[in-house]
């Protein structure tokens, strides 16, 4: 009896090793931690950026809510890094990203980076307020007010938003 149980266990273990040993690594677990491994998001649901040379992709969560001519887009990647962009005015063209208008917040490993002064530019390239869709590009230099370190953020988004 003991021999049969041991033999069945060894046979099952060999079968499992054979199945997973012949499967390509990328088929077992998609590379969620490297947004450069493929397309970030999908059409109409995308927030991506280059932050100080590192790729950011809102692959875990992307929320866009707007109303009364403003919009807030929040994106979170698989590691919890967060990028939040506040649009104070919805109009095609360039606008300033700063402390008091069109703010951008980047949070990584417990550190927050915010604009100081007129830190960057937000350009809305496509806007449909009826179907609530927007495409934009943004670039800014953000600062951690605690230690003075900075991060340069250069990104784009393509989202549909829900009304508040």
Enumerate residues 6+ apart whose C-beta is below 8 A from 127: 90, 91, 92, 133, 134, 135
Is residue 19 one of the residues assigned to a domain?
no
Is residue 48 one of the residues assigned to a domain?
yes
Give, in degrees to the nearest 5, the angle at Cα 80 between 61 and 159: 25
Where is average pLDDT lowest: 8-17, 35-44, 89-98, 100-109?
Answer: 8-17
Assess whether pLDDT exceeds 50 at residue 29: no
Is residue 27 one of the residues assigned to a domain?
no
Where is average pLDDT lowest: 33-37, 52-56, 76-80?
Answer: 33-37
pLDDT of residue 35: 47
Mean pLDDT along residues 133-161: 96
Mean pLDDT along residues 68-91: 96
Is residue 40 one of the residues assigned to a domain?
yes
Is residue 22 one of the residues assigned to a domain?
no
Mean pLDDT along residues 50-77: 96
The range of the structural domain enclosing residue 155 comes to 35-163
Is residue 81 one of the residues assigned to a domain?
yes
Number of domains in the chain: 1
Mean pLDDT along residues 22-48: 66
As a residue count, the chain comes to: 164
State residue 30 phi and psi, 5-degree precision.
-65, 150
Tokens of 53: 């040379």
Distance CA 21, CA 15 (A): 10
Is residue 157 one of the residues assigned to a domain?
yes
Mean pLDDT along residues 90-117: 94
pLDDT of residue 5: 57
Is residue 108 one of the residues assigned to a domain?
yes
pLDDT of residue 2: 59
pLDDT of residue 28: 44
Q: State which H helix or E strand residue 24 sits in.
A: none
């Amino acid at each position: 009896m003991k021999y049969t149980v041991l033999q069945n266990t060894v046979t099952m273990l060999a079968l499992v090793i054979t199945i997973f040993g012949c499967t390509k690594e990328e088929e077992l677990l998609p590379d969620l931690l490297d947004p450069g491994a493929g397309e970030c998001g999908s059409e109409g649901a995308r927030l991506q950026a280059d932050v100080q040379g590192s790729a950011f992709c809102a692959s875990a969560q992307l929320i866009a809510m707007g109303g009364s001519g403003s919009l807030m887009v929040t994106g979170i990647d698989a590691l919890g890094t967060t990028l939040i962009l506040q649009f104070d005015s919805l109009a095609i063209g360039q606008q300033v990203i700063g402390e008091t208008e069109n703010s951008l917040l980047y949070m990584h490993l417990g550190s927050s980076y915010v604009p100081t002064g007129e830190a960057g530019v937000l350009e809305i390239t496509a806007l449909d307020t009826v179907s609530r869709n927007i495409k934009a590009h943004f670039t800014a230099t953000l600062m951690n007010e605690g230690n003075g370190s900075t991060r340069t953020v250069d990104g784009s988004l393509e989202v549909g938003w829900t009304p508040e």
